[in-house]
Structure 1
Amino acid sequence: SPGNLPTYFENLPNKLNLRYHSLVNNTTFHIKINISSISKNIFESYCKHILIPYQNRIYSMMMENLFIFYLSLLLHTLSQYFLLEILILKNIESNHIISLLSHLSLLPNFSSLIIMSIDHVHNVNKQSLGHLILSNLTHLSFQNENISFNQIKLFIRNLSHQLQVFRFSTEFDITYLNANQWQELI
């Protein structure tokens, strides 16, 4: 009735807050995270209030412009992200990639990795990749302008045989156009 109309509007924010709260706390609701260029204080708050409390519900995470501080916090808790399937890292320094990958091997549902490195990839060798087993990885995308074909070959050979999709982007290196070396790798 028209007399009850103000009451409905007065209770609307409370009902929306309750619905929002129940949605956020619903354990079947999976979370997709996108973190781009934030300050250390904001990232710490984000970790405290979002990443850590909801780490068992996060299935996808995109992080951009990771600095060593952010990465160390992420690595410290990464093994707790049991539902994490997709990780996108944009503008990550290449020297952090191997340590990150070793932590990803602990995640049972992890299947898709996208890396966009901002610098030259150093020290990719059998010793650094020997412990790397990403058994569920089916999709890999890697973008770096300064990585040799031999480094890519070594990286791919150390990955799981379940890899279905591999995307790679580079510039200034015509050795990638040699079909024979790709045929040998496949």
Structure 2
Amino acid sequence: LNDYNTIYRLIFHLPMLKYNKLLAKKIVLQDSIPITSNEQLTSLEQLVINHPCTLESLYNILSYTSKLHRLTCEHLFLMNQNISREVPLTIFNLTYCSISQCYLKFDEFEMFIKQISSQLRTLRFKPCSDIFYLDADRWQQLILQYMPYLHTFQFKYHDGVSGHFRIQSYHSFINRFISPFWIERQWLLDIQIDLNHWSPIEIIFSIQPKRYIKKNSFDAIHM
């Protein structure tokens, strides 16, 4: 089957299914899965979307999964710039969210997090090149208001430098990652500079729990 929508409809008609992983190497861009009615809710508790997925499709998939505890998404991106959520999602049990490659701008990601995050304990993801992901104060406000139970927070941001390195205005955001908010939670900033990376030189900004920095194992974490 090449029609993801058909596959998901079949999955959502399995009332006793608790875990599902869908693996595919290519994306088939078709009409989004329709939003469910309350009569179509599934019993899924763990969902692994191991294929490229639009934000609109993910919203609609999640409308079927009110009992979901763990969400893993391989590639998340935006197709419709005017996407909006008129009907709020009813996901009250989601405690784990991992996105391997997040191609959303921070504004779009923030909108998504506000929909799913009330009980979130773990958030792991690698964002796209949007400098606003490095705004520590904005993160702090988002976490305090929408992720009050967050325990494990990890993200990894890649920044390219062409030619001579120069301090940019957005680099001032980064200093705020050493404020008491971050230190108290032991979410520490780690900066790596890869001089061997093919031009441009790559700077990697990571936020991760102290225990992972000690083990130097961020790259080994399954995201």
Q: Match for 1:65: what amino acid?
A: P
Q: In the TM superposition, what are the counterparts of 1:163-174 in structure 2 within 5 Å? A: 163-172=150-159
Gaps of 5+ in 1: 1-23
Gaps of 5+ in 2: 1-12, 160-170, 187-223
Q: Which residue of 1 aligns with 2:122?
A: 139
2:18 matched residue in structure 1: 30
How far apart, CA to CA, are the structure 2 residues paired with 1:167 and 1:73? 24
1:115 aligns with 2:99: yes
Change (3 A) 1:106 1:54: closer
Structure 2 CA distance for partners of 1:37 and 1:129, relative to 1, 3 Å: closer
- Provide the rounded CA distance (Å) in 2 between the counterparts of 1:141 and 1:164: 11
Aligned letter for 2:179? N
Residue identity opposite 1:179 in structure 2:
I
Shift of 1:113: 0.8
**Normalising by the residue count of structure 2, what TM-score does the alignment of the two structures yield?**
0.48
Give the match for residue 215 of structure 2. none
CA deviations over 1:103-147 (Å, ceiling 9, x no partner):
885212211111234446243699x58965722111111212532
Distance 1:74 1:125 in 2: 12
TM-score of the superposed pair, with normalisation by structure 1: 0.55
Give matches, 1:11-160, under 5 Å.
27=16, 29-40=17-28, 56-63=42-49, 64-67=51-54, 71-93=55-77, 106-119=90-103, 121-123=105-107, 128=111, 132=115, 134-144=117-127, 145-146=129-130, 147-150=133-136, 151-160=138-147
2:218 corresponds to: none
Q: Match of 1:180?
A: 179
Indicate the structure with greater helix content: 1
SS of 2:158's equivalent in the other structure is coil
CA deviations 1:27-75 (Å, max 9, x no partner) are 3x5222234344538x88xx79xxxx995132222223114xxx43442
CA distance in 1, matches of 2:155, 2:103: 15
Contact kept? 1:31, 1:58, Cα under 8 Å:
yes
Task: Tell me if the contact between 1:136 and 1:160 (Cα under 8 Å) persists in the aligned partners.
Answer: yes
| Contact 1:134 1:160 survives alignment (8 Å) | yes
Matched residue SS, 2:107: coil
Q: What CA distance in whole angstroms lies between the structure 2 residues aligned with 1:100 and 1:139?
A: 25
For residues 147-184 of structure 1, give each alpha carbon's deviation from its aligned partner in whole angstroms, at most 9, with x where no partner exists.
Answer: 22334334323322111111121233692695236338
Aligned positions, number: 149
Q: Is the 8 A contact 1:104 1:110 kept in 2?
A: no
Letter in 2 for 1:33: K
Q: Which AA in structure 2 matches 1:78? A: L
